[in-house]
A and B are shown apart, each in its own frame.
Chain A
């Protein structure tokens, strides 16, 4: 008999095909992306609440298709900012360019990006020109920056140049920016000196909280599909109460409960 692999998962972000819930948040984000102006959205929530899973879900081709955003017009580029370690603006720009080149291979940007990469130093202006050219072709890059706290934490509060640069790209309508952090951007950038209005003003904030009971049930139903295990109403209440709807703890509780069922049927 083939092994029954436990479908619940608590070792990192979930796969987009197993993503559930967050419908309101997704609607808010997708409507802004599809709207006429480019936007900036700041997603925040506690550790393991599902920020990375949501960003991966947004970046997945199937999601874009379900919102009828054509791959020719919208290019989703995901970057975990901790990858740019040790952080420097130059490395950040290089990392962005390499991602754009690779993830949007069909947009024929390779030549332009290669020219930039061959320069001794890349500036924000260079990136702005490239993005401006993309916008003129009626295309839009949606940049998903995960672990945005890392960039803020590695920016000089007196000269927060990387943040000002991102703001200028958004204000010049060069890209749509979605960032995810543990705390709201306003709190993270408190005490930083910006010329003009505060940095966080460019963002519409979206907070991620625990799952509702309905979302928890959706998660359970989706995971149990294709297995012979059924969680009773009492099981569902128990795992929801014990996890308080926090996705990580909910998955963890469901994982253990699923094993109990498998053990009881194999003994």
Chain B
């Protein structure tokens, strides 16, 4: 009989922990192959809300995962920023947030000096940032900026003067590769940047595109099996079909449907026991 205290292994909200990501092998490979390439590529992940973008960012930046690509924390630092925490995104507030979040990067003495110098400044120019990331490259170190919900930043860019995007693009296109960027947006980056006048190469042309879709039937079953493994609950074939159909394989909706179903099982079991 199932214990009344068995906690629900499904998540009804938020990103899943890095070790519990299901599927997405192709997407993980693309992103980490690009970063591990000596050219240190950048990528743009698109997919609707709840599809697993944030979970994917957590997964690729977990040392247990990125180490397989030779990206060890001793030289490669993943800096994750939820862009919506920058209340009024401007060039100044954005880069201040980046610098603040970089505090625990693998600095050597010279990098630390340069970093502190920039951090103390009110206004940081593009060429000061370039100098900082060039120094990372010269020290054989890499910063990977993971910018979640980047559409928030794009929404605040003046479409006639996209200075912030221009600076970011020029930083990832430096001959010295000290910076790589992974962004997430609900809509494809192409569509979001469509109305912006870049007077030169558009921002999006420096990124490889990764589109996240719903789970396949097999992935949904893998999620259910893994979650239920530590419990005594078993979902029937018909349960599985009904949660998959209701959620259409959308990860957050699938988790929620499974969560509710698990609660029903737990309740039924408790009722039987009482």
Please give the residue numbers on chain A whose beta carbons come within 8 Å of chain B beta carbons, in ascending order. Answer: 3, 5-7, 9-18, 47-48, 52, 56, 59-60, 78, 80-86, 91, 94-95, 98-99, 102, 146-150, 152-154, 181-182, 255, 259
Contacts and interface: CB of A to CB of B under 8 A. Distances in A.
Contacts of A6: 29, 33
B127 A18 contact: no
A12 B42 contact: yes
Given A85-B126, A98-B131, A9 B200 contact: no
A82 B203 CA distance: 10
B5 interface: no
Closest CB pairs A-B (n = 6):
A11-B41, A153-B199, A150-B200, A83-B170, A11-B208, A80-B170
Contacts of A9: 34, 37, 39, 41
Nearest to B158: A86
A256 B100 CA distance: 38
Given A15-B39, A102-B134, A85 B68 contact: no
A154 B166 CA distance: 13
A103 to B, nearest CB: 9
Determine which residue in A5, A59, A153, A181 has the highest number of CB atoms from chain B within 10 A of its CB, and name it. Answer: A5
B199 A12 contact: no
B55 interface: no
Contacts of A14: 39
Nearest to A16: B175
A154 B199 CA distance: 8
B198 interface: yes
Given A80-B170, A149-B200, A15 B127 contact: no
15 contacts: A3-B69, A5-B33, A5-B70, A11-B37, A11-B206, A82-B200, A83-B126, A84-B127, A85-B161, A85-B163, A85-B167, A148-B200, A150-B166, A154-B199, A182-B200
A86 B163 contact: yes
A30 B66 CA distance: 40
Contacts of B175: 16, 56, 59-60, 78
A15 B37 CA distance: 8
Contacts of B161: 85-86
A83 B130 CA distance: 9
B198 A82 contact: yes
Nearest to A53: B39
B250 interface: no
A47 B190 CA distance: 14
Contacts of A7: 37
Contact of B38 (A15, A47, A102, A148): A15
Contacts of A60: 175
Interface string B107-144: 00000000000000000011100110010000000000
Interface in B125-179: 125-127, 130-131, 134, 161-163, 166-167, 169-175, 177
Given A12-B172, A86-B163, 7 more contacts: A15-B38, A17-B38, A18-B38, A99-B127, A102-B134, A150-B200, A181-B200
